[in-house]
Structure 1
Amino acid sequence: YVSEGVGGQMDKRIKEITYMWREMNDEWYRIQTNSPTVINKLKRRKDVKVCGKTTRGSTVYWIVFRLQYKKPSTAKQSFKRLTNCRNNFTYRNGVFRAEVSTNGSLKSDFKYQNEVSK
């Protein structure tokens, strides 16, 4: 994912994006992400399985997880918490999509560094 930045310059940073979709009217969901933050959160859960990932040598690293939610509303709430996107996500053709927000963690790290340097 490449976007056009200020002054027509191309932003070549890889965006951290997470997708979630439901398997065939079932309680099982898939989450696909390239965000290290979301990957680490999901790997810590004991009820989550890795069901796919990109091959070595790919320019972008993606992992697909499989997990279970009893209700669609619970899945949506969990997706919002995982990505820290609040209500800044899209839903189209049964797929949730969010750019992962890391603002909260950056602010807390910055505050901690300032306190240490005093």
Structure 2
Amino acid sequence: MRRAVALALVSLLVAPIVASVLWTVDERAGIAIAGATIALVAVLLVARLRTIVRGRVFGGEGAPGSESGEGDEGDGWSLVPDWQYEGRFAEAGGITRSEQEQALREIDERAEREQNRTRE
């Protein structure tokens, strides 16, 4: 989805310039480029809204209450590699984030050991 947003932003920046140049050559071409840009942005906006609504209504992946962090675009930490938590991003909460993830890994390991113990 981030690529789609980037495409929409680039279209909004470049298309008016292209449309104005084409407008001087052929008025219809300028109108076509402007219309295509508006249509592209509208389609991307509707797709984004549909994804948000589907996630909230049906509890899909990336929904605010979902357990997986894969689709959570609002989480800035998804952009930061784990190994930079305690370095570059320490003052921005990276140390806390690192501690939380370590605790989650330990809980997962304990749960796996318990499952293995109960299987035996």
Bigger helix share: 2
Bigger strand share: 1
Larger radius of gyration: 2
